Amino acid sequence: MEERLRSHYESLARVVGFTRTADSKAAPVLAGHLALAGTLAARRDDWAISLANGPWDAAATVLLVLLLVYAVFALLALLFAGSVYLPRTPENGTSLIYFAAVASTPLHVFVEQAKHMEPRLIEEQLLEQIHTVSRIVGVKMHRVRWAYFLSAPAGVLWLVLLAWGNL
């Protein structure tokens, strides 16, 4: 039983590590989009002049559409990447392993329950935690994947808009 508990604990530690991986993959998306948006914002005066000079021609319409489509892709990528960092603390009952359940248990009750906890119950709660954290990792990785997918067209549009400003 002791070997199984150690194995389960190592599995839980690996899954918790995957949450950090998802977080670290989302960070460059956030930083990159903020930097790209900053470079476009620096050119806003040039575009404002182009768009303000009426009557609108085809070029001004294309510029506005490109800006709007870029903004949609970039904002969606930022939302997906940012949501990776939203806290998730699903209720896990009276677990002596899950931090929220431990924190909500009075100290004397927690100590007493932990001292008399059967190895079978420890194993069950470790397995529940592995499952819960794995679900969280799955959601985080799914959101990171979408942030990257949405970043690709945003990056292409950014290049087009950047080139537009140099024309």
pLDDT 10s per residue in the chain (167 long)?
788 888 888 888 888 888 889 999 999 999 998 888 888 777 666 666 656 666 667 777 787 888 889 999 999 999 999 999 887 766 656 676 777 777 777 888 777 877 888 888 888 888 888 888 898 899 999 999 999 999 999 999 988 888 876 55
pLDDT at res. 58: 76
Residue 151: the pLDDT is 94
Token look-up 């085809």 returns 58
End-to-end CA distance of the chain: 71
Global confidence as pTM: 0.75
105 CB contacts (<8 Å, ≥6 apart)? 94, 96, 113
Residue 136 in contact with residue 18, Cβ under 8 Å? no
pLDDT (0 to 100) of residue 147: 95
Domain count, the chain: 1
**Structural domain range at position 65:** 2-166
Please report, for the chain, how many H helices and E strands are present, in that order: 6, 0
